[in-house]
Amino acid sequence: MKKYNRFLYIFSFLFLLAFHVNAAPQLEIDEDHDEVMHAVQQGLIQPFSALQEKVAKQLNGRIIKVELDEDDDVWVYELKLIDPNNNIVKVEYEARTLTIIEIKGRGLENIIKVNE
C-alpha cells in the first residue's frame, strides 16, 4: 500500500507542476524593457492586458507564447495559441491598434469567433 501512495503522491506532484508551468503563457520581449515601457506610455503599443482582452473576444484558444518585436518602427505581437482541438495557431497583431496582421495554422475555422 505504501508503494501505491508514493506513486500517487509523485504523480500528483508532477501533474500540478505541469499544470503550473503550462498555466501562464511564455512572454518574450526582444527589445529593451525600458524601451517597451516608453512605447506603451507614448501609445505606440497597447499593453499585454489589452491584447489578452482582444484575443478573448476574437479567438477560441489559449495563449501559450507571446513575443513582442519592433522592426522599422512597427511593433508586432507574435502569439502562439492552442485551440480546443490542440491545434497550434500563430497570430500576429499590430501592437498599436491590435489588429490581426496574419493568422496561420490548422483548424482556423474552430479558432476564429464569428460575430453574430
Q: What is the CATH number of the domain that holds 92?
A: 3.10.450.40
Number of domains in the chain: 1
**Is the predicted pLDDT of residue 74 greater than 80, yes or no?**
yes
Q: Sign (positive/negative) of CA torsion 43, 48, 50, 55?
A: positive
Share of the chain above pLDDT 70, in %: 71
Asked, for residue 5, whether it belongs to a domain, the answer is no
- pTM exceeding 0.85: no
In a domain, residue 8? The reply is no
Cell (9 digits) for 69? 518585436
Contact call for residues 59 and 91 (beta carbons, < 8 A) = yes
- 84-89's contacts with Cβ under 8 Å and 24+ in sequence apart are 84/60, 84/110, 85/110, 87/111, 88/64, 89/59, 89/61
**pLDDT confidence band for 110 (50 / 70 / 90):** confident
More confident residue, 97 or 68: 97
Residue 9 covered by a domain: no
Distance CA 44, CA 75 (A): 8
Strands 99-105 vs 88-94: parallel, antiparallel or unpaired: antiparallel
Question: Range with the lowest mean pLDDT among 18-22, 56-60, 69-73?
Answer: 18-22
Q: Per the domain annotation, does 41 fall within a domain?
A: yes
- Residue 91 is assigned to a structural domain of this protein: yes
Alpha carbon 111 to its chain's center: 14
Q: Which residue has the higher pLDDT, 39 or 58?
A: 58
Report yes or no on 12 lying in a domain: no
90 neighbors 80 (Cβ within 8 angstroms): yes
Domain span holding position 95: 32-110
